[in-house]
């Protein structure tokens, strides 16, 4: 990663759900990330953007679902998510970002 624009390309958005809120209580934050991003890329981007220390990064890819609406069937895109565990003493408040 060379600059902050690369970090913004990797970290797309925070996930704000009930499950993500429960994860924040155990020092974890969940982000939607680029499909091509690797764990070291995600770790470097989070540390650069939020000035925190990352303990671990876990990733998952949610495959796109078929959704129908008024007779039109569409396929949602695949989404890659990163569950970032922070070192003790660090926090990220994604609700105010």
Q: How far, in Å, CA of 80 to CA of 71, rounded?
A: 28
Q: What pTM does this model have? A: 0.84
pLDDT digits (tens, 9 = 90+) for 64-86: 999 999 999 999 999 999 999 99
Number of Cβ within a 10 Å radius of residue 86: 21
Q: What is the CATH number of domain 4-86?
A: 3.30.70.330
Q: Which helix (H) or strand (E) holds 38?
A: none
Measured CA to CA, the distance from residue 64 to residue 82 in angstroms comes to: 17
pLDDT value for 66: 93
Token digits for 92? Answer: 């990220």
The pLDDT tens digits for 27-45 are: 999 999 999 999 999 999 9
């Amino acid at each position: 990663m060379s600059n902050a624009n690369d970090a913004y390309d990797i970290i797309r958005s925070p996930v704000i759900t009930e499950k993500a809120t429960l994860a924040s209580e155990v020092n974890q934050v969940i982000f939607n990330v680029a499909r091509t991003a690797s764990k070291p890329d995600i770790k470097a981007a989070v540390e650069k953007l939020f000035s925190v220390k990352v303990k671990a990064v876990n990733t998952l890819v949610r495959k796109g679902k078929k959704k129908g609406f008024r007779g039109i069937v569409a396929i949602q895109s695949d989404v890659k998510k990163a569950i970032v565990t922070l070192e003790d003493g660090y926090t990220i408040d994604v609700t105010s970002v």
